[in-house]
A and B are shown apart, each in its own frame.
Chain A
Amino acid sequence: MLDQTNFNHLPPSPGVGYKPQHFQDIIENSGSVRWLEIHAENYMGDGGRPLAQLRHLAERFPISVHGVGLSIGGETPLDADHLARLKHLVSWLNPASFSEHLAWSTHESHFYNDLLPLPYTDATLARICDHINQVQDTLGRAMLLENPSSYLAFEESTWEEPAFLAEVSKRTGCGLLLDVNNVFVSATNLGFSPQQYIDAFALEKVGEIHLGGHDEDTDDHGAPLLIDSHGREVVDPVWSLLDHTLERSGPKPTLVEWDTDVPEWSILEAEAARAHDALQRVIA
């Protein structure tokens, strides 16, 4: 277990998920945006423009590396090749933060390119902690673990998600990434109170907050089914939930994610400016 009191070196300011089409805009005027997050797997090529852009941006902004392919929750051992690629990226880039998901995406050497759900049991807890220890030992740093968007639950679960994440953090020393939109999506889909979820969350372990947009669908019974699509503006109830969170946690590095139907820079920057306003309200 790593002894870690600060989970990362990101500023308690707004950041955005970096998209290559915004490169020039960001260099010219990043507005409220103080840091950038990249998806680790997009920067594991050998060279070319993606890495050149990343080197350029890393001289100007703190960078958060957000993994989407490690499959921390997988039943099978972590992919050693992938972990080695991650170590290489983290070694040369020395990012301000590394985070991954409470999810799985690889099974029997097939990668499904989605974040798949986990039952919250003692067996899952033990496996997740083993994998996180392996990642943290390999990288030589603490990571953040993100709460998922849930569309369904497992009958076999015996833990509530906030308690499960707090226990993972306690056992491994990892920090937590609190995705407020994911909380709202899961709460709507599974019928619990998002505020109570936040109140039960180990906010002192939170190193980063995520915000994003979601789509709306319905289930077999006509109940709302929200989909975490990252393809539009953050909705007002999620901004309110961010306020609820920040009032309890104090200012945190706060990221806006927009991954599909990516808008022009000014629209994404306006979302970051709204996060800036929310952070200002809790700075004493």
Chain B
Amino acid sequence: MTVPQNLFTGAMMDAAQPVPEGLIDGNKRPAGRRFNVYRNNVAVSLTEAMHQAFPVITKLLGTQNMDGLAGLFLRAHPPTSPLMMFYGAEFPAFLAQMPQLAHLGYLPDIARLELQMRRAYHAADTAMADAAFLSDLAPEDLMALHARIAPAVTVIKSSWPIYDIWRFNTEDDAPKPASGAQDVLITRPEFDPVVQLLPQGAADWIIALQNGASFGTAFEVALQSTPSFDLTTPLTMLLQGGAFIEFDRKG
């Protein structure tokens, strides 16, 4: 009796299936609960990976609920790569389609935030471009500028107060979240990702820059959603976050 690997994984991921025949103990008796060692190892190690990957979601839901959710998730979405540092990419969408969690509509965006922080942590190292010349630029030259943005930099737009929720669950004495939409910026000045609240319109401006638009074109994009948009604050945030790795003055 041979045991093909698809039979092994099928029984391993579904405890309702019988232990495959042909697996035995040292006395040639059926392996029985010995097979559960593999069932447990896979479930426990992937559940632990989900706890580590999504600590704020775990805190919001409670450890027991997160265990249950991770058990469902790991069966629906086993890892597709041995790089466990990136496990859980489907988790935000998975949370969004759970009817039981519909009353916690912010969970998927919090999961996206945690996922992107992990990606930022492992993103390529980059050196900040020299930005001293920016203060001497005439406004029209500033608007003609293009920039290459570091791979660690991410913007997350949300219709929920995700920055307040994230802070409330990661910092002591953080204020209780109010209602309202919040966009956040993730940068990695050195090794630890930094999460900051973006002013209105800034997310659109930064996303346009990431897509290759000039400062000026990106500015016009931001004005469409936020007529009062001012790039001073987000520009300072990007500079302090080491976000610019190259400037192109010719456009």
Q: A residues touching B (Cβ–Cβ < 8 Å)? A: 41-42, 44-52, 68-71, 74-75, 79, 81-82, 85, 104-114, 116-117, 119, 151-156, 189-192, 217, 219-221, 223, 225, 227
Contact = CB atoms under 8 A, between A and B. Distances in A.
Given A41-B82, A48-B191, A107-B6, A156 B42 contact: no
B9 A192 contact: no
B85 interface: yes
A153 B151 contact: no
A112 B191 contact: no
B82 to A, nearest CB: 3
A215 to B, nearest CB: 10
A151 B38 contact: yes
Nearest to B29: A221
Interface-central residue, B84, B122, B151, by most chain A CB under 10 Å = B122
Contact of A45 (B12, B31, B81, B85): B85
Interface in B27-44: 27-29, 31-35, 37-38, 41-42
Contacts of A220: 32-34
A105 B83 CA distance: 12
Contact of B191 (A52, A108, A227): A52
Contact of A156 (B3, B8, B123): B3
A156 B8 CA distance: 14
Contact of A46 (B38, B82, B151): B151
B122 A45 contact: yes
B41 A82 contact: no
Given A219-B33, A220-B32, A107 B82 contact: no
B64 interface: no
A50 to B, nearest CB: 7
12 contacts: A48-B121, A51-B125, A70-B82, A71-B82, A74-B5, A79-B82, A111-B79, A114-B38, A114-B42, A119-B3, A153-B31, A154-B3
B123 A153 contact: no
B83 A44 contact: yes
Interface of B: 1-6, 8-9, 12, 22-29, 31-35, 37-38, 41-42, 45-46, 49, 78-85, 121-126, 151-152, 188, 191-192
Given A48-B152, A225-B34, 4 more contacts: A48-B125, A104-B5, A113-B84, A151-B38
Given A152-B34, A219-B34, A220-B32, A191 B26 contact: yes
B122 A48 contact: yes
A52 B190 CA distance: 11
Nearest to B77: A110
Given A48-B188, A112-B9, A154-B24, A105 B82 contact: yes
A192 B26 contact: yes
Contacts of A49: 121, 191-192
B205 to A, nearest CB: 25
Contact of A82 (B3, B24, B81): B81
Main DSSP-derived SS at the B contact region: loop
Nearest to B193: A48
Contact of B31 (A44, A85, A119, A152): A152
B42 A113 contact: yes
B107 to A, nearest CB: 24
A107 B122 CA distance: 26
Nearest to B151: A46
Q: Among B3, B25, B85, which residue has the most Cβ atoms of chain A within 10 A?
A: B25
Contacts of B32: 219-220
Contacts of B2: 119, 156
Nearest to B31: A152
Contacts of A155: 1, 22-24, 28
Contact of B78 (A112, A156, A190, A219): A112
Closest 10 A-B residue pairs measured CB to CB? A69-B82, A45-B122, A191-B26, A190-B26, A47-B125, A46-B124, A152-B31, A49-B191, A220-B32, A111-B79
B38 to A, nearest CB: 6
Nearest to B32: A220
Contacts of B26: 153, 189-192
Contacts of B5: 74-75, 104, 107, 116
A48 B123 contact: yes
B122 A47 contact: yes
Contacts of B3: 119, 154, 156
A75 B79 CA distance: 18
A219 B42 contact: no
Given A46-B122, A48-B123, A219-B25, A110 B35 contact: no
A198 B67 CA distance: 41
A78 to B, nearest CB: 11
A152 B23 contact: yes
A111 B81 contact: yes
A50 B82 CA distance: 17
